[in-house]
Amino acid sequence: GNAIKVMRKILAIAKEKDIDLELDEEYMARDINEDAELYCIRRVENKASIEECDRLLKIAEDHKSYYAMARIYKRIGELQLYNQEAVQAFISYSKVLEILNNSNKTADKPLIYNNMGVCKLKLVDYEEAVYYFNSSLLVADLTGNYSVYNKAMFNLALAYSNLNNIPETIETINRCINRLDKNKEYNLYLKAKILEAHSYSENNDYEMGLKIYQEVEKDFKDTQASEDKIVLGNLYNNIAFNLMHLNRFTESEKYFDLSISLREKYNRYLLSHALITKSDLYIKIENYDSALNCILRGIELCKEYNDYEYWTTALIYLERIYRMNDNVEALRNVYSQYIEISDKNNNENTRIL
Protein backbone atom coordinates (compact mmCIF):
# COMPACT_ATOMS: atom_id res chain seq x y z
CA GLY A 1 0.00 0.00 0.00
CA ASN A 2 0.94 3.61 0.63
CA ALA A 3 3.62 2.66 3.18
CA ILE A 4 5.48 0.61 0.55
CA LYS A 5 5.24 3.49 -1.99
CA VAL A 6 6.70 5.87 0.60
CA MET A 7 9.48 3.41 1.47
CA ARG A 8 10.33 2.95 -2.24
CA LYS A 9 10.60 6.73 -2.59
CA ILE A 10 12.91 6.89 0.47
CA LEU A 11 15.03 4.05 -0.98
CA ALA A 12 15.30 5.85 -4.32
CA ILE A 13 16.45 9.09 -2.65
CA ALA A 14 18.90 7.15 -0.47
CA LYS A 15 20.32 5.44 -3.58
CA GLU A 16 20.84 8.84 -5.29
CA LYS A 17 22.72 10.06 -2.22
CA ASP A 18 24.67 6.76 -2.04
CA ILE A 19 23.22 5.86 1.39
CA ASP A 20 22.68 2.13 2.08
CA LEU A 21 19.59 1.72 4.31
CA GLU A 22 19.90 -2.12 4.21
CA LEU A 23 16.18 -2.52 3.50
CA ASP A 24 14.76 -4.77 0.80
CA GLU A 25 11.31 -5.20 -0.72
CA GLU A 26 10.72 -8.46 1.17
CA TYR A 27 11.20 -6.54 4.41
CA MET A 28 8.78 -3.82 3.26
CA ALA A 29 6.20 -6.32 2.03
CA ARG A 30 6.03 -8.00 5.44
CA ASP A 31 3.23 -6.63 7.56
CA ILE A 32 3.33 -6.21 11.32
CA ASN A 33 1.58 -9.57 11.90
CA GLU A 34 4.23 -11.44 9.93
CA ASP A 35 6.96 -9.62 11.87
CA ALA A 36 5.29 -10.61 15.14
CA GLU A 37 5.03 -14.26 14.02
CA LEU A 38 8.68 -14.35 12.94
CA TYR A 39 9.79 -12.77 16.23
CA CYS A 40 7.82 -15.33 18.31
CA ILE A 41 9.14 -18.31 16.34
CA ARG A 42 12.75 -17.12 16.59
CA ARG A 43 12.43 -16.67 20.36
CA VAL A 44 10.94 -20.17 20.71
CA GLU A 45 13.78 -21.62 18.61
CA ASN A 46 16.15 -19.78 20.94
CA LYS A 47 14.89 -21.94 23.83
CA ALA A 48 12.45 -19.47 25.40
CA SER A 49 11.62 -19.99 29.10
CA ILE A 50 8.06 -20.53 30.39
CA GLU A 51 7.89 -16.86 31.47
CA GLU A 52 9.02 -15.66 28.06
CA CYS A 53 6.58 -18.04 26.35
CA ASP A 54 3.72 -16.43 28.31
CA ARG A 55 4.76 -13.02 26.94
CA LEU A 56 5.14 -14.44 23.42
CA LEU A 57 1.65 -15.97 23.59
CA LYS A 58 0.19 -12.51 24.23
CA ILE A 59 2.02 -11.16 21.14
CA ALA A 60 0.91 -14.12 18.97
CA GLU A 61 -2.70 -13.80 20.16
CA ASP A 62 -2.75 -10.03 19.55
CA HIS A 63 -1.53 -10.58 15.97
CA LYS A 64 -3.72 -13.68 15.36
CA SER A 65 -0.70 -15.80 14.50
CA TYR A 66 -2.02 -19.34 15.11
CA TYR A 67 1.13 -21.00 13.77
CA ALA A 68 3.25 -19.07 16.29
CA MET A 69 0.76 -19.95 19.06
CA ALA A 70 1.12 -23.66 18.20
CA ARG A 71 4.92 -23.38 18.32
CA ILE A 72 4.79 -21.55 21.67
CA TYR A 73 2.36 -24.05 23.27
CA LYS A 74 4.60 -26.88 21.98
CA ARG A 75 7.61 -25.26 23.69
CA ILE A 76 5.61 -24.78 26.92
CA GLY A 77 4.54 -28.46 26.79
CA GLU A 78 8.17 -29.56 26.36
CA LEU A 79 9.28 -27.52 29.39
CA GLN A 80 6.38 -28.77 31.52
CA LEU A 81 7.06 -32.39 30.53
CA TYR A 82 10.75 -31.92 31.39
CA ASN A 83 9.66 -30.59 34.81
CA GLN A 84 7.40 -33.66 35.32
CA GLU A 85 4.26 -31.46 35.15
CA ALA A 86 2.35 -34.01 33.08
CA VAL A 87 -1.17 -32.56 33.56
CA GLN A 88 -0.12 -29.07 32.46
CA ALA A 89 1.96 -30.47 29.58
CA PHE A 90 -1.02 -32.51 28.34
CA ILE A 91 -3.19 -29.37 28.33
CA SER A 92 -0.51 -27.43 26.39
CA TYR A 93 -0.16 -30.21 23.79
CA SER A 94 -3.98 -30.39 23.48
CA LYS A 95 -3.95 -26.70 22.53
CA VAL A 96 -1.27 -27.39 19.89
CA LEU A 97 -3.37 -30.25 18.48
CA GLU A 98 -6.49 -28.07 18.37
CA ILE A 99 -4.62 -25.39 16.37
CA LEU A 100 -3.11 -28.00 14.01
CA ASN A 101 -6.55 -29.56 13.43
CA ASN A 102 -8.12 -26.18 12.67
CA SER A 103 -5.35 -25.27 10.21
CA ASN A 104 -5.07 -28.73 8.58
CA LYS A 105 -1.34 -28.87 9.39
CA THR A 106 -0.12 -32.44 9.95
CA ALA A 107 3.69 -32.24 10.02
CA ASP A 108 3.96 -31.87 13.83
CA LYS A 109 1.07 -34.21 14.68
CA PRO A 110 3.07 -37.46 15.15
CA LEU A 111 5.31 -35.71 17.70
CA ILE A 112 2.38 -34.04 19.51
CA TYR A 113 0.40 -37.31 19.74
CA ASN A 114 3.54 -39.08 21.00
CA ASN A 115 4.16 -36.45 23.68
CA MET A 116 0.51 -36.53 24.78
CA GLY A 117 0.94 -40.30 25.18
CA VAL A 118 4.04 -39.70 27.32
CA CYS A 119 1.95 -37.38 29.55
CA LYS A 120 -0.65 -40.15 29.94
CA LEU A 121 2.10 -42.67 30.76
CA LYS A 122 3.35 -40.41 33.55
CA LEU A 123 -0.22 -40.03 34.83
CA VAL A 124 -0.62 -43.84 34.97
CA ASP A 125 -3.42 -43.67 32.37
CA TYR A 126 -2.07 -46.47 30.19
CA GLU A 127 -5.17 -47.17 28.06
CA GLU A 128 -5.22 -43.51 26.99
CA ALA A 129 -1.45 -43.63 26.38
CA VAL A 130 -1.98 -46.57 23.96
CA TYR A 131 -4.54 -44.46 22.04
CA TYR A 132 -2.14 -41.52 21.64
CA PHE A 133 0.87 -43.63 20.64
CA ASN A 134 -1.23 -45.51 18.07
CA SER A 135 -2.47 -42.12 16.77
CA SER A 136 1.15 -40.99 16.41
CA LEU A 137 2.04 -44.11 14.40
CA LEU A 138 -1.10 -43.81 12.24
CA VAL A 139 -0.52 -40.13 11.34
CA ALA A 140 3.17 -40.83 10.69
CA ASP A 141 2.15 -43.59 8.25
CA LEU A 142 -0.42 -41.35 6.52
CA THR A 143 1.95 -38.40 6.13
CA GLY A 144 5.22 -40.29 5.62
CA ASN A 145 6.71 -38.39 8.58
CA TYR A 146 8.71 -41.06 10.42
CA SER A 147 10.85 -38.73 12.58
CA VAL A 148 9.32 -39.98 15.85
CA TYR A 149 7.95 -43.33 14.58
CA ASN A 150 10.43 -45.58 16.40
CA LYS A 151 10.11 -43.62 19.66
CA ALA A 152 6.31 -43.83 19.47
CA MET A 153 6.50 -47.59 18.85
CA PHE A 154 8.84 -48.03 21.82
CA ASN A 155 6.49 -45.95 23.97
CA LEU A 156 3.51 -48.03 22.79
CA ALA A 157 5.31 -51.19 23.93
CA LEU A 158 6.01 -49.45 27.25
CA ALA A 159 2.29 -48.68 27.66
CA TYR A 160 1.38 -52.33 26.92
CA SER A 161 4.00 -53.40 29.46
CA ASN A 162 2.41 -51.18 32.12
CA LEU A 163 -0.97 -52.75 31.27
CA ASN A 164 0.67 -56.15 31.89
CA ASN A 165 -0.18 -57.17 28.33
CA ILE A 166 2.97 -59.25 27.82
CA PRO A 167 2.14 -60.72 24.35
CA GLU A 168 1.43 -57.24 22.88
CA THR A 169 4.54 -55.84 24.59
CA ILE A 170 6.85 -58.51 23.14
CA GLU A 171 5.28 -58.29 19.66
CA THR A 172 5.49 -54.45 19.59
CA ILE A 173 9.01 -54.26 21.02
CA ASN A 174 10.26 -56.86 18.53
CA ARG A 175 8.77 -54.80 15.67
CA CYS A 176 10.57 -51.79 17.10
CA ILE A 177 13.91 -53.61 17.47
CA ASN A 178 13.68 -54.90 13.87
CA ARG A 179 13.17 -51.31 12.59
CA LEU A 180 16.02 -49.78 14.57
CA ASP A 181 19.47 -49.13 13.15
CA LYS A 182 21.63 -50.25 16.08
CA ASN A 183 24.48 -47.95 15.09
CA LYS A 184 22.41 -44.80 14.48
CA GLU A 185 19.83 -45.23 17.28
CA TYR A 186 21.94 -47.08 19.82
CA ASN A 187 20.30 -45.69 22.98
CA LEU A 188 16.77 -46.43 21.76
CA TYR A 189 17.93 -49.92 20.69
CA LEU A 190 19.29 -50.53 24.20
CA LYS A 191 16.08 -49.31 25.83
CA ALA A 192 14.11 -51.61 23.53
CA LYS A 193 16.28 -54.63 24.45
CA ILE A 194 15.88 -53.73 28.13
CA LEU A 195 12.09 -53.61 27.70
CA GLU A 196 12.17 -56.98 25.89
CA ALA A 197 14.08 -58.51 28.82
CA HIS A 198 11.71 -56.82 31.27
CA SER A 199 8.73 -58.44 29.51
CA TYR A 200 10.19 -61.91 30.11
CA SER A 201 10.84 -60.99 33.75
CA GLU A 202 7.23 -59.83 34.12
CA ASN A 203 6.23 -63.27 32.79
CA ASN A 204 8.30 -64.77 35.63
CA ASP A 205 10.95 -66.00 33.16
CA TYR A 206 13.80 -64.47 35.17
CA GLU A 207 16.47 -66.66 33.57
CA MET A 208 15.57 -65.43 30.06
CA GLY A 209 15.27 -61.84 31.29
CA LEU A 210 18.69 -62.01 32.97
CA LYS A 211 20.22 -63.58 29.84
CA ILE A 212 19.09 -60.65 27.63
CA TYR A 213 20.20 -58.09 30.24
CA GLN A 214 23.66 -59.66 30.50
CA GLU A 215 23.99 -59.64 26.69
CA VAL A 216 23.12 -55.94 26.71
CA GLU A 217 25.59 -55.25 29.54
CA LYS A 218 28.35 -57.04 27.62
CA ASP A 219 27.49 -55.11 24.43
CA PHE A 220 27.11 -51.73 26.14
CA LYS A 221 29.21 -48.85 24.81
CA ASP A 222 29.68 -46.38 27.67
CA THR A 223 30.72 -43.08 26.11
CA GLN A 224 30.46 -41.36 29.53
CA ALA A 225 27.56 -39.25 28.15
CA SER A 226 24.74 -38.64 30.63
CA GLU A 227 22.23 -40.46 28.36
CA ASP A 228 24.44 -43.57 28.49
CA LYS A 229 24.65 -43.33 32.28
CA ILE A 230 20.83 -43.17 32.48
CA VAL A 231 20.47 -46.35 30.37
CA LEU A 232 23.20 -48.05 32.40
CA GLY A 233 21.36 -47.16 35.63
CA ASN A 234 18.20 -48.81 34.24
CA LEU A 235 20.18 -51.85 33.13
CA TYR A 236 21.83 -52.37 36.54
CA ASN A 237 18.48 -51.95 38.32
CA ASN A 238 16.85 -54.61 36.15
CA ILE A 239 19.76 -57.05 36.44
CA ALA A 240 19.46 -56.62 40.24
CA PHE A 241 15.72 -57.32 40.06
CA ASN A 242 16.21 -60.61 38.15
CA LEU A 243 19.06 -61.75 40.39
CA MET A 244 16.85 -61.05 43.43
CA HIS A 245 14.10 -63.29 42.06
CA LEU A 246 16.66 -66.03 41.33
CA ASN A 247 17.65 -65.77 45.03
CA ARG A 248 21.14 -64.53 44.14
CA PHE A 249 20.91 -61.86 46.84
CA THR A 250 24.57 -60.76 47.20
CA GLU A 251 24.94 -60.17 43.45
CA SER A 252 21.54 -58.46 43.42
CA GLU A 253 22.51 -55.98 46.16
CA LYS A 254 25.72 -55.13 44.28
CA TYR A 255 23.78 -54.25 41.10
CA PHE A 256 21.16 -52.24 43.03
CA ASP A 257 23.99 -50.17 44.54
CA LEU A 258 25.49 -49.56 41.07
CA SER A 259 22.08 -48.40 39.80
CA ILE A 260 21.45 -46.13 42.80
CA SER A 261 24.85 -44.42 42.51
CA LEU A 262 24.23 -43.67 38.81
CA ARG A 263 20.65 -42.50 39.31
CA GLU A 264 21.66 -40.18 42.17
CA LYS A 265 23.85 -38.32 39.69
CA TYR A 266 22.15 -38.73 36.29
CA ASN A 267 18.49 -39.70 36.73
CA ARG A 268 17.12 -38.56 40.09
CA TYR A 269 13.54 -38.99 38.89
CA LEU A 270 14.01 -42.81 38.75
CA LEU A 271 16.12 -43.05 41.91
CA SER A 272 12.99 -43.86 43.94
CA HIS A 273 12.32 -46.91 41.72
CA ALA A 274 15.72 -48.46 42.53
CA LEU A 275 15.39 -47.71 46.26
CA ILE A 276 11.85 -49.10 46.53
CA THR A 277 12.68 -52.25 44.52
CA LYS A 278 15.82 -52.75 46.61
CA SER A 279 13.63 -52.66 49.74
CA ASP A 280 11.94 -55.84 48.46
CA LEU A 281 15.36 -57.53 48.49
CA TYR A 282 15.85 -56.54 52.15
CA ILE A 283 12.35 -57.78 53.04
CA LYS A 284 13.18 -61.16 51.44
CA ILE A 285 16.35 -61.49 53.57
CA GLU A 286 14.46 -60.11 56.64
CA ASN A 287 16.63 -56.99 56.99
CA TYR A 288 13.67 -54.75 57.84
CA ASP A 289 15.62 -51.70 59.05
CA SER A 290 17.41 -51.39 55.70
CA ALA A 291 14.10 -52.01 53.89
CA LEU A 292 12.43 -49.16 55.81
CA ASN A 293 15.31 -46.77 55.07
CA CYS A 294 14.99 -47.50 51.32
CA ILE A 295 11.19 -47.20 51.31
CA LEU A 296 10.98 -43.92 53.26
CA ARG A 297 13.68 -42.29 51.15
CA GLY A 298 11.91 -43.57 48.02
CA ILE A 299 8.55 -42.12 49.13
CA GLU A 300 10.09 -38.65 49.64
CA LEU A 301 11.40 -38.77 46.05
CA CYS A 302 8.02 -40.00 44.74
CA LYS A 303 6.32 -37.01 46.40
CA GLU A 304 8.90 -34.65 44.92
CA TYR A 305 8.34 -35.96 41.38
CA ASN A 306 4.58 -36.72 41.61
CA ASP A 307 5.29 -40.42 40.97
CA TYR A 308 2.05 -41.89 42.30
CA GLU A 309 2.63 -45.38 40.89
CA TYR A 310 5.87 -46.08 42.80
CA TRP A 311 4.58 -44.25 45.85
CA THR A 312 1.73 -46.81 45.89
CA THR A 313 4.24 -49.69 45.43
CA ALA A 314 6.29 -48.35 48.35
CA LEU A 315 3.18 -48.23 50.56
CA ILE A 316 2.42 -51.90 49.76
CA TYR A 317 5.92 -52.87 51.03
CA LEU A 318 5.55 -50.53 54.01
CA GLU A 319 2.17 -52.05 54.91
CA ARG A 320 3.71 -55.54 54.75
CA ILE A 321 6.47 -54.59 57.22
CA TYR A 322 4.13 -52.76 59.65
CA ARG A 323 1.64 -55.66 59.62
CA MET A 324 4.46 -58.04 60.60
CA ASN A 325 5.35 -55.70 63.48
CA ASP A 326 1.68 -55.01 64.42
CA ASN A 327 2.46 -51.29 64.23
CA VAL A 328 -1.10 -49.90 64.18
CA GLU A 329 -0.14 -46.20 64.30
CA ALA A 330 2.24 -46.59 61.34
CA LEU A 331 -0.44 -48.50 59.41
CA ARG A 332 -2.86 -45.58 59.91
CA ASN A 333 -0.27 -43.30 58.32
CA VAL A 334 0.06 -45.70 55.36
CA TYR A 335 -3.71 -45.68 54.77
CA SER A 336 -3.86 -41.87 54.96
CA GLN A 337 -1.16 -41.78 52.24
CA TYR A 338 -3.28 -44.13 50.07
CA ILE A 339 -6.15 -41.62 50.40
CA GLU A 340 -3.79 -38.72 49.56
CA ILE A 341 -2.67 -40.47 46.35
CA SER A 342 -6.28 -41.25 45.40
CA ASP A 343 -7.29 -37.61 45.93
CA LYS A 344 -4.36 -36.33 43.85
CA ASN A 345 -5.16 -38.74 41.01
CA ASN A 346 -8.86 -37.80 41.07
CA ASN A 347 -8.05 -34.10 41.05
CA GLU A 348 -5.63 -34.45 38.14
CA ASN A 349 -8.00 -36.64 36.11
CA THR A 350 -10.78 -34.09 36.67
CA ARG A 351 -8.47 -31.28 35.54
CA ILE A 352 -7.63 -33.18 32.35
CA LEU A 353 -11.32 -33.68 31.51
CA atoms within 13 A on the CB side of 52: 13
pLDDT at 25: 52
> What is the widest separation between alpha-carbon atoms in the chain?
96
Tell me the C-alpha distance between 104 and 98, whole Å.
10
pLDDT tens digits, 84-108: 999 999 999 999 999 999 988 888 9
Of residues 266 and 15, the one with the higher pLDDT is 266
Q: What is the mean pLDDT of the chain?
A: 89
217 compared with 349, residue with greater pLDDT: 217
Q: Which amino acid is at 68?
A: A
pLDDT at 190: 84
pLDDT at 29 over 60: no
pLDDT for position 293: 97
| pLDDT of amino acid 23 | 57
Give the whole-angstrom CA distance, residue 44 versus residue 48: 5
Checking if the pLDDT of 351 tops 50, the result is no
Give the confidence band of 350 by pLDDT, cuts at 50, 70, 90.
Answer: very low
Q: What is the 3-state secondary structure (H, E, C) of the chain?
A: CHHHHHHHHHHHHHHHCCCCCCCCHHHHHCCHHHHHHHHHHHHHHCCCCHHHHHHHHHHHHHCCCHHHHHHHHHHHHHHHHHCCCHHHHHHHHHHHHHHHHHCCCCCCHHHHHHHHHHHHHHCCCHHHHHHHHHHHHHHHHHHCCCCCHHHHHHHHHHHHHHCCCHHHHHHHHHHHHHHCCCCCCHHHHHHHHHHHHHHHHHCCCHHHHHHHHHHHHHHCCCCCCHHHHHHHHHHHHHHHHHHHHCCCHHHHHHHHHHHHHHHHHHCHHHHHHHHHHHHHHHHHCCCHHHHHHHHHHHHHHHHHCCCHHHHHHHHHHHHHHHHHHCCHHHHHHHHHHHHHHHHHHHHHHHHHC
Q: Of 177-186, 253-262, 339-348, which one has max mean pLDDT?
A: 253-262
For 219-242, what is the mean pLDDT?
89
CA 24 centroid distance within chain: 44
Residue 143: which of 167, 174, 107 has the closest Cα? 107
User: What pLDDT is stored for residue 231 in this prediction?
Assistant: 85
Average pLDDT over residues 219-231: 85
**Portion of the chain with pLDDT greater than 70, in percent:** 90
Give CA–CA dist 54/59, Å, rounded.
9
The pLDDT tens digits of the residues spanning 138-183 come to: 999 998 888 899 999 999 999 999 999 999 999 999 999 999 998 8
Lowest mean pLDDT, pick from 63-72, 244-253, 271-280, 290-299: 63-72
- In this predicted structure, the answer to whether residue 130 has a pLDDT above a threshold of 90 is yes
pLDDT average, residue stretch 277-298: 96
298 φψ region: left (φ > 0), alpha (ψ -120 to 50), beta (else): alpha
In this predicted structure, what is the pLDDT of residue 347?
58
| Dihedral angle, C-alpha 262, 264, 267, 272, nearest 10 ° | 110
Q: Identify the band that residue 352 occupies on the pLDDT scale cut at 50, 70 and 90.
A: very low
| pLDDT at residue number 172 | 97
